[in-house]
């Protein structure tokens, strides 16, 4: 069996006018974890069934939470705020999912046994201190080597509310504190830098929990009142903008194409990629914008764009496009002039060191690129870029987004690509290759 993807040809005419991408990963994992703490049967339509989400479901199953997959919906049977079944010698494996590993810890802060959390080769390299430190303040015991997985966590009968300042701009960190706060008696005060706000929106609009959010300069102050049990809920998960972005860039960088991507989550804390690509000249329009439980949902209409402008991006856009930077770098490669991106250190804390990989891939493509101080990158664009090189991509810790970016690069900019770990896209976007093939790509 082939263990790599080969791309030798750019994509020709699209065989479809519109596509839909699968459910949002952040919302799917939050739905799964919060359902478990609810008072009964929750149901989701369009839940993403990628490896990351299935790993979250498997971890919860070990904690006594039942999930039923039906044709059109997924049902999860919550057992209340304090209803998880903790046992001796339990190991929970989050696979590749940083969101699962980090948020799961917050569900375990009242465990009376030590629970072991582990993950795959990539997840074992990622920093868990960012959640260990705040969760310790609730009264939780942790054992880990260098703040990495595998770790052991043992909770406390009486977790206490905390005050915490989150300075990384990490939604995972913020969400871990918010969920842990639910198990305490009192008010947790969380001050945080902006990051995706799905947990806040779910707390407020879906679970109807008493939270207060106040803007204070560059921070948000979130007050969460604990021990409010919440009712079971249902949720319809919109398409994932991170998955949609591969097809946005595929269309932008090809010739004479139009594509509509329907029903995508356009929450402004996530949709930075649209703003950035539009600033670079990308022909993108949003249609049919609606509000669903605080999330903005709409269709994206993309047209191929002939000329892109380079950009000197203000880091204030970073968090709202954090998973899309490698795609944005591809557009910078085809722009007129030199693009600069700064303060991207968090990219090297993802499933692989993505900033380093971005530079490596661009260099292999023959692009002039330089790392600059403050974890930045400078890219010298070539308006008429057309690759004819052989490019081999391997040993990238099976980072799903690296594989998908390289596939899009090959299909739009040319070259002869051989990309190993051929199926790691299933971590976040299992239908990625199927949608591409239906559009007419030869991969």
Backbone angles phi, psi at 139, to 5 degrees: 105, 15
For ligand S3P, which is the closer residue by CB, 180 or 301? 180
Least Å distance between CB 170 and ligand S3P?
A: 3
* Residues listed for the chain: 443
Beta bridge partners of 219: 216
- Ramachandran region of residue 372, left (φ > 0), alpha (ψ -120 to 50) or beta? beta
Instruction: Tell me which of 52, 120, 323, 421 is the catalytic residue.
Output: 323
Annotated catalytic, 299? no
Segment 327 to 356, residues that bind ligand S3P, using CB under 6 A: 346
Least Å distance between CB 333 and ligand S3P?
A: 22
The two most distant CA atoms of the chain are separated, in Å, by 63
Determine if 166 is a binding residue for ligand S3P (CB under 6 A): no
Among 126, 196, 257, 398, binds ligand S3P (CB under 6 A): 196
**Contact status, residue 142 vs residue 167, Cβ threshold 8 Å:** no
Least Å distance between CB 313 and ligand S3P?
A: 17
For ligand S3P, which is the closer residue by CB, 174 or 257? 174
Beta carbons within 10 angstroms of residue 55's beta carbon: 26
Determine if 433 is a binding residue for ligand S3P (CB under 6 A): no
For ligand S3P, which is the closer residue by CB, 25 or 262? 25
What does the DSSP 8-state code read for residue 202?
I
Among 35, 55, 172, 243, binds ligand S3P (CB under 6 A): 172
Segment 41 to 100, residues that bind ligand S3P, using CB under 6 A: 99
What is the Cα–Cα distance from 216 to 415, expressed in whole angstroms? 49
For ligand S3P, which is the closer residue by CB, 320 or 431? 320
β-sheet with 66-69: strand ranges across: 66-69, 73-77, 41-45, 234-236
The kind and range of the H/E element at 339 are: strand 338-341
Among 170, 263, 310, 431, binds ligand S3P (CB under 6 A): 170
Least Å distance between CB 76 and ligand S3P?
A: 18
Beta bridge partners of 82: none
Least Å distance between CB 201 and ligand S3P?
A: 12
β-sheet with 90-93: strand ranges across: 90-93, 115-118, 148-154, 141-145
Q: Would you name the residues annotated as active-site residues?
A: 323
Site of interaction with ligand S3P (CB under 6 A): 26, 99, 170-173, 175, 195-196, 322-323, 346
């Amino acid at each position: 069996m082939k263990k790599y993807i080969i791309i030798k040809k750019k994509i020709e005419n699209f065989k479809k006018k519109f596509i839909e991408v699968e459910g949002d990963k952040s919302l799917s994992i939050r739905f799964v974890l919060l359902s478990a703490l609810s008072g009964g049967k929750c149901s989701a339509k369009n839940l993403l069934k990628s490896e990351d989400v299935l790993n979250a479901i498997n971890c919860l199953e070990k904690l006594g939470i039942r999930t039923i997959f039906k044709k059109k919906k997924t049902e999860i049977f919550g057992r209340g705020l304090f209803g998880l079944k903790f046992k001796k010698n339990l190991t929970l494996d989050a696979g590749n999912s940083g969101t699962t590993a980090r948020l799961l810890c917050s569900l375990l802060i009242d465990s009376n046994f030590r629970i072991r959390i582990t993950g795959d080769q990539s997840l074992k390299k990622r920093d868990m201190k960012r959640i260990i430190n705040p969760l310790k303040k609730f009264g939780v015991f942790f054992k880990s080597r260098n703040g990495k997985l595998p770790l052991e966590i043992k909770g406390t009968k009486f977790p206490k509310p905390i005050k915490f300042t989150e300075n990384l701009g990490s939604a995972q960190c913020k969400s871990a504190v918010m969920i842990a706060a639910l198990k305490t008696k009192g008010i947790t005060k969380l001050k945080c830098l902006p990051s995706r706000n799905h947990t806040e929106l779910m707390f407020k609009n879906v679970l109807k929990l008493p939270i207060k959010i106040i803007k204070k300069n560059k921070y948000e102050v979130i007050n969460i009142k604990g021990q409010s049990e919440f009712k079971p809920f249902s949720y319809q998960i919109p398409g994932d903008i991170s998955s949609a972005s591969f097809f946005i860039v595929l269309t932008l960088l090809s010739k004479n194409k139009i594509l509509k991507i329907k029903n995508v989550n356009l929450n402004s804390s996530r949709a930075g990629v649209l703003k950035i690509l539009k600033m670079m000249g990308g022909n993108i329009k949003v249609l049919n914008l609606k509000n669903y439980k605080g999330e903005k949902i709409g269709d994206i209409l993309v047209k191929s764009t002939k000329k892109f402008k380079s950009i000197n991006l203000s880091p204030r856009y970073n968090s709202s496009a954090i998973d899309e930077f490698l795609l944005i770098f591809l557009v910078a490669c085809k722009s007129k002039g030199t693009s600069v991106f700064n303060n991207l250190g968090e990219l090297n804390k993802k499933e692989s060191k993505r900033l380093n990989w971005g530079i490596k891939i661009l260099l292999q493509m023959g692009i002039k690129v330089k790392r600059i101080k403050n974890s930045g990158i400078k890219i010298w664009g070539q308006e008429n870029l057309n690759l004819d090189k052989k490019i081999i991509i391997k040993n990238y810790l099976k980072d799903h987004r690296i594989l998908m970016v390289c596939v899009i690069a090959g299909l739009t900019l040319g070259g002869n690509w051989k990309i190993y770990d051929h199926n790691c896209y299933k971590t976040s976007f299992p239908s990625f290759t199927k949608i591409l093939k239906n559009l007419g790509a030869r991969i």
